[in-house]
Every structure is written in structure tokens, then in C-alpha cells.
């Protein structure tokens, strides 16, 4: 392996560590999964902060794994690095004979290594072969997509994954070009996109090719399909008290993350019952109110953090929540009876401190960040 390629400034590092700490600081040994290891910045900080934690690091990029292995060499006795996509986490845990984990981090999107090195084909400002595969050992390349997809399919990819309003025009320009010669260069593709977009639209919203390159990258790596499967599977691997943190970098990722966490944080029982029925209560609680954004200082120090959205959740015991809910309901009934003058003998009293407050709220997005 040569010198480290790319630079990595971990995004929202302190906040990630703060959110994961209660799960990883519990008595005994704990297990943390970095589902998107990259160059290992977040993983290194977790291992330094939690000397009794074992790390399982996944990445589909073999080059990133090699660099992360070198970076984390001093922790080798408590590190397992695996060449895998994050939707393969349950299989990885089975192979390692790990029944459950305490912490999980997803740092989604393209890594610093992939973005900084022109030969990977992710950057629209540098010329390179049109690859865009995060795992260069397998799969379809961006060159395959732009040269083989029919117009409707190409336009759909650009519109859905890039939220590109000129998707049809760009797809037409690509097809006209490939009829003359195969498109193999990232620079040529960027030129085609710029030429296809009306001049007034080019002056706002950053580089005109940004959305097209994002869309192709997502299509090549099947990122959203993988994430949609991976999030619920990862949540299922957490122990009670375990925590998951997800860093998203565009609205499509964040939407899937929000839906997956909200689904586990809501009750499934009838809304008009005073207490949760067994098996119907929430299994997770949200740790932030909506998506957390980076501060101005973070964006100044690391411009790539500008678009990040953080969401986090903790696994809870629904039966314990149900028992606490039943206790609170019994207390409320005693209070009502006291005010109505029935059910309590003279001199009876109710101690509000005898009923624990679990901090529940009717706001689905309420959490630690409030």
C-alpha cells in the first residue's frame, strides 16, 4: 500500500461521540459497528474514547479498508475490518458470532478518498474514466449506465436520484453524443450536462453537473436500495440501550433514515387506550428533535459538512415502558378518585414522586436535543 490518498476530517465527530457514549460506556465489553468505515476517522476516535469497545468496520471500498487497517493498527486486538456493504451487516455478525451490538454509525455518501482521487471518476471538476463504483472489484460502472440506458431510464435516474429538473434534456444530450462515440470521460460528461442546461439555470445552485454525477453515483452503487434494507436490519442488531447514529448528505438519504427511525419510535396499538398493549409500544426513542445540522464553525473548518443531517435513536425495552405506563395510569386514576371523593379513605394521599416520569412526549421528533 502506498501513501494515504485523500484526506478525512470526520464530520460532527464530537456530537457522534456524545450520542454513542451512553451505549459504549456500559459495564463490561461493548461492540460498535462502523458501517461505512472509509478512512477510519470516526472509528479511531471511538476506539480511543472507549478502551473496552470492540470495533467491527465495514466498507465496500478495498482501498479504503487498506488505509483504515493501517490507521487502526494499534487497536488490532479489538478491531475486525470486513469487505462488505452495510446491508450485509447481519451476515457479517453471524460470521463473527456476534449476537448483538451496542453502537452503530452510518456516515453515508461518497468518501473523501473516492472524492479526492480523480481516477475514481466521482468528481465532475476533474477528468477521469467514468467509473464511480465504490467497490471497484464488481458491478456496473457509470460508463455502462450513460452508454446503455434508454432515454426514459436515464432521465428517470437523473430526475429521481439527482432531483434534476432538466433530466430529459440531459438524457437527450447524452444519447446524441453516444451515437457519435462512446462516452468514457467524466470531463466530457460534465461538458454535455452544462451544454444541455439553459444558461440562466447554470448561474445558480453550484456546478451544473453536480446533480447528474450524484444521480449516476447512486445508481451505480444502488445506494438507496441498499440503505432501505440496511437501516431496519441494523436497528434489529442493537441491544436494549444500544444507539445508532446516521449522517446523511442529501434529502433522499435523510428521508429514508427519518422513516426508518420514526417507524420504530411510534406505537402500533389503538390510540384511544390508556396504556400500551403488549407488543405494540415503540422499540426506539429518538435522540434529537428532527435532523441536527452542523454549526457554522464546523462548516468553516470542513466545508464538506455543510449538507450533513444527523439523526439518532436508542433501543428501549417496550415491556418496561408499558409497565411504567400502567403505573402512571393507576396513579392518575387514584388522583381522579381523590378529587371526586371516592375510592380513597379520609386522610389518604398520593405522592407524585412515587410515579416515575419517563419523559415521554407526544412529539414524535422530541429527544435529547430539545
Q: Report the pLDDT averaged over residues 13-31.
A: 97
Residue 136 annotated as part of some ligand binding site: no
For residues 26 and 31, give the distance between their C-alpha atoms in angstroms, rounded to a whole number.
11
Q: Which CATH superfamily is domain 13-107+223-270+278-321 in?
A: Vaccinia Virus protein VP39 (3.40.50.150)
Contacts of 359 (CB under 8 A, 6+ apart): none
Per-residue pLDDT tens over the stretch 211-264? 999 999 999 999 999 999 999 999 999 999 999 999 999 999 999 999 999 999
Can you tell me the mean pLDDT for 23-42? 96
H helices of 99-185, in order, are 112-116, 142-148, 151-162, 167-180
Task: Check whether 354 has a pLDDT greater than 70.
Answer: no
The answer regarding whether domain 117-221 maps to CATH 3.40.30.10 reads no
Q: And the C-alpha cell for 209? A: 453537473
Largest interatomic CA distance in the chain: 95
Q: How confident is the model at residue 137 (pLDDT cuts 50, 70, 90)?
A: confident
Confirm whether residue 41 is marked as ligand binding: yes
Rounded Cα distance between 366 and 370, Å, is 6
Quote the mean pLDDT of the chain.
Answer: 85
Lowest mean pLDDT of 94-103, 202-211, 283-292, name the range.
202-211
Task: Give, to the nearest 10 degrees, the angle between helix 151-162 and helix 167-180.
Answer: 140
The arithmetic mean of pLDDT across residues 262-270, rounded, is 84
- At 332, is the pLDDT very low, low, confident or very high (cuts 50, 70, 90)? low
Mean pLDDT of 343-363: 45
Measured CA distances, 143 to 63, 160, 213, 349 (Å): 21, 19, 12, 76
Please state, as a whole number, how many other Cβ atoms lie within 10 Å of the Cβ of residue 352. Answer: 8
pLDDT at 302: 87
Query: Percent of the chain at pLDDT above 90?
Result: 66
- Is 86 assigned a ligand-binding role in the annotation? yes
| Cell triple for 180 | 457519435
Q: Is 331 annotated as a binding residue?
A: no
Q: Tell me the pLDDT band of 352, cut-offs 50, 70 and 90.
A: very low
pLDDT tens readout for residues 308-328: 999 999 999 987 755 555 555
Contact 180, 168 (CB under 8 A): no
pLDDT band, residue 291 (cuts 50/70/90)? very high
Determine which of 61-70, 112-121, 130-139, 344-353 has the lowest per-residue pLDDT on average.
344-353
- pLDDT digit string (tens) for 150-207? 999 999 999 999 999 999 999 999 999 999 999 999 999 999 999 999 998 888 878 8
Average pLDDT over residues 90-112: 92
Contact between 83 and 91 (Cβ < 8 Å): no
What average pLDDT does range 281-306 have in this prediction?
92
Whole-prediction pTM: 0.82
Q: Are 23 and 30 in contact (CB under 8 A)?
A: yes
Give the Å distances, CA to CA, from 5 to 41, 68, 126, 302.
Answer: 14, 11, 16, 18
Query: Does residue 40 have a known ligand-binding role?
Result: yes
pLDDT computed for residue 272 by the predictor: 62
Give the model's pLDDT for residue 56: 98
Question: Does 107 show up as a binding residue in the annotation?
Answer: yes
More confident residue, 39 or 1: 39
Cell numbers that stand for 182 in this block: 462512446
So where are the chain's domains? 13-107+223-270+278-321, 117-221
Return the CA Rg of the chain.
25
Amino acid at each position: 500500500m502506498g501513501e494515504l490518498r485523500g484526506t478525512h476530517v470526520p464530520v460532527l465527530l464530537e456530537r457522534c461521540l456524545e450520542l454513542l457514549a451512553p451505549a459504549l460506556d456500559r459495564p463490561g465489553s461493548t461492540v460498535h459497528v462502523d458501517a461505512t468505515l472509509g478512512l477510519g476517522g470516526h472509528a479511531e476516535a471511538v476506539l480511543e474514547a472507549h478502551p473496552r469497545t470492540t470495533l467491527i468496520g465495514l466498507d465496500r471500498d478495498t482501498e479504503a479498508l487498506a488505509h483504515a487497517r493501517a490507521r487502526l493498527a494499534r487497536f488490532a486486538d479489538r478491531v475486525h475490518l470486513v469487505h462488505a456493504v452495510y446491508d450485509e451487516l447481519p451476515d457479517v455478525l453471524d460470521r463473527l458470532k456476534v449476537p448483538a451490538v451496542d453502537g452503530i454509525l452510518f456516515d453515508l455518501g461518497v468518501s473523501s478518498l473516492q472524492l479526492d482521487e480523480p481516477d475514481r471518476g466521482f468528481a465532475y471538476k476533474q477528468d477521469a474514466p467514468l467509473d464511480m463504483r465504490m467497490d471497484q472489484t464488481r458491478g456496473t460502472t457509470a460508463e455502462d449506465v450513460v452508454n446503455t440506458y434508454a432515454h426514459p431510464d436515464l432521465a428517470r435516474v437523473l430526475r429521481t436520484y439527482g432531483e434534476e429538473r432538466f433530466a430529459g434534456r440531459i438524457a437527450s444530450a447524452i444519447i446524441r453524443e453516444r451515437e457519435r462515440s462512446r462516452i468514457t470521460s467524466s470531463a466530457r460528461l460534465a461538458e454535455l450536462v452544462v451544454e444541455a442546461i439553459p444558461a440562466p439555470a447554470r448561474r445558480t445552485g453550484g456546478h451544473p453537473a453536480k446533480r447528474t454525477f450524484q444521480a449516476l453515483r447512486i445508481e451505480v452503487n444502488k445506494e438507496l436500495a441498499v440503505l432501505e434494507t440496511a437501516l431496519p436490519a441494523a436497528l434489529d442488531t442493537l441491544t436494549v440501550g444500544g444507539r445508532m447514529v446516521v449522517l446523511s448528505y442529501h434529502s433522499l438519504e435523510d428521508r429514508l433514515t427519518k422513516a426508518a427511525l420514526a417507524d420504530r419510535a411510534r406505537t402500533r396499538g389503538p390510540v384511544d387506550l390508556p396504556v400500551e398493549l403488549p407488543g405494540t409500544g415503540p422499540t426506539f426513542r429518538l435522540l434529537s428533535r428532527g435532523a441536527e445540522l452542523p454549526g457554522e464553525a464546523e462548516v468553516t473548518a470542513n466545508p464538506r459538512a455543510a449538507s450533513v443531517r444527523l439523526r439518532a435513536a436508542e433501543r428501549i425495552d417496550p415491556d418496561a415502558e408499558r409497565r411504567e405506563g400502567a403505573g402512571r395510569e393507576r396513579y392518575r386514576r387514584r388522583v381522579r378518585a381523590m378529587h371526586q371523593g371516592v375510592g380513597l379513605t379520609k386522610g389518604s394521599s398520593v405522592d407524585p414522586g412515587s410515579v416515575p416520569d419517563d419523559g415521554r412526549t407526544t412529539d414524535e421528533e422530541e429527544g435529547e436535543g430539545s
